[in-house]
A and B are shown apart, each in its own frame.
Chain A
């Protein structure tokens, strides 16, 4: 048998890809690392794209992530897409026609925005995922008197609506088929408080409403709702969820139903030489019920990369030490207007039993989410004091045994 090539290929050059490369070095991998990314940029930080940077409070340059010195010898192939992986042969093919053999592969290709397929013009319709997206949207929000319709009341939609209000646009309306903003992750109590806060600050809502199409000839002038009514719009933002970038993994017998399925060590397809990190990884969390889920939180690329790099490096270095199963404590924040949402744990698992732990939904509030009577997550909504309150429960959430135990 020929010797394995001593190279790890990382597909995707964003936060997950960067952290994977850094953590491979930290885990003792001294062989070659090549990171392939289809965006033209070095890895950058996405959260400010809907907040400070979109608001013009921070420059685009401030987004750059600085690779650690230990990862200085990593090869970056940017502006290059992985078009196909042949896992049995341990090769990936790039869009420049080259084929890279690998000893180890890290899947870090993340997500892209889902688009609405209903009829109408495309110009004037935006998504927010990349630098280029945020630049284009920022230019349009800066047009005097813009009327903005945000479709989708998830966290990105809520953040963009808040930023647009802050920029002084003429009006902002958020449309969603659900009855409250962010009700999926937050549950009713906080979702209602969130809606009130947005309305007090000038955001309008069209809730329980679907989108049937777009009006306009060469560019969008209105959003047609399911009941036939029309919201006038100069700028439309579609924040209706995301789609995993997994097409390049097809044909390998993997479960790609929602991202790429991993085992409790973040390995893919039962292969010890392939791991997945970041938004694209659908992993079971040993801290909870063992059900595999994708988690689109900023903390996840770093957490998954640390674990996956150890798993991969120890396998390739011939150690194959079995690590304890991956069991991160999810953390999430979102900044909207002058307030912050801060969550620890898995509130969505305890959405049916939400209790106010501190404060009052009209003011700073801290809510606890319970499953089988046990605290599984906390969410703070408000200012500094509320956020600090949530942090106090973090240790308790960390100490708890698995839900299945």
Chain B
């Protein structure tokens, strides 16, 4: 599975981090960091992360 976050849209809300802490995290400056190619076993939580992103900045490909 491939995850793409549109960093032009992302406003570091961090909602994705609650939904899928294995894939999304906040770095020390409060900016989003994420794993671009997470294991398929994490699909449910990544989909939830995409749902809860207020800017709808997260896209799942494949």
Chain A residues touching B, majority SS? helix
Q: Is the CB of A333 within 8 A of B13?
A: yes
Q: Which of chain A's residues has its CB closest to B11's CB?
A: A335
Q: Is the CB of B51 within 8 A of A19?
A: yes
Q: Which of chain A's residues has its CB closest to B59's CB?
A: A66
A333 to B12, CA, bound (A): 12
In the complex, chain B residues 6-30 whose Cβ is within 8 Å of any chain A Cβ: 9, 11-15, 17-18, 26, 29-30
Interface window among A140-148, A260-268, A386-394: A386-394
Q: Is the CB of A394 within 8 A of B13?
A: no
- In whole Å, how far is B19's beta carbon from the nearest beta carbon of chain A? 10
Report B-chain residues with C-beta under 8 Å of the C-beta of A385: 30
A298 at the interface (CB under 8 A from B): yes
Report B-chain residues with C-beta under 8 Å of the C-beta of A68: 47
In the complex, chain A residues 333-360 whose Cβ is within 8 Å of any chain B Cβ: 333, 335
A404 at the interface (CB under 8 A from B): no
Q: Is the CB of B30 within 8 A of A302?
A: no
Q: Is the CB of B56 within 8 A of A45?
A: yes
Q: Is the CB of A394 within 8 A of B18?
A: yes
Q: Is the CB of A388 within 8 A of B14?
A: yes
Q: Is the CB of A66 within 8 A of B30?
A: no
CB-CB under 8 A for A388 and B26, given A68-B47, A333-B13: yes
Report B-chain residues with C-beta under 8 Å of the C-beta of A331: 15
Report A-chain residues with C-beta under 8 Å of the C-beta of B18: 391, 394
Report A-chain residues with C-beta under 8 Å of the C-beta of B30: 384-385, 387-388
Q: Is the CB of B14 within 8 A of A47?
A: no
CB-CB under 8 A for A65 and B56, given A19-B51, A384-B30, A385-B30: yes
CB-CB under 8 A for A302 and B14, given A68-B47, A384-B30: no
Q: Is the CB of B14 within 8 A of A391?
A: yes
- In whole Å, how far is A72's beta carbon from the nearest beta carbon of chain B? 14
A80 at the interface (CB under 8 A from B): no
Report B-chain residues with C-beta under 8 Å of the C-beta of A200: none
Q: Which of chain B's residues has its CB closest to A391's CB?
A: B14
The 0/1 profile, CB within 8 Å of B marked 1, for residues 367-405 of chain A is 000000000000000001101100100100000000000
CB-CB under 8 A for A384 and B15, given A66-B56, A302-B52: no
Q: Is the CB of A299 within 8 A of B52?
A: yes
Q: Is the CB of B54 within 8 A of A333?
A: yes
Q: Is the CB of B54 within 8 A of A384?
A: no
Report A-chain residues with C-beta under 8 Å of the C-beta of B59: 66
A residues at B contact (CB < 8 Å) = 19, 45, 47-48, 58, 62, 65-66, 68, 298-299, 302, 331, 333, 335, 384-385, 387-388, 391, 394
B residues at A contact (CB < 8 Å) = 9, 11-15, 17-18, 26, 29-30, 47, 51-52, 54-56, 59
Q: Which 3 A-B pairs have the closest CB atoms?
A: A384-B30, A302-B51, A45-B56
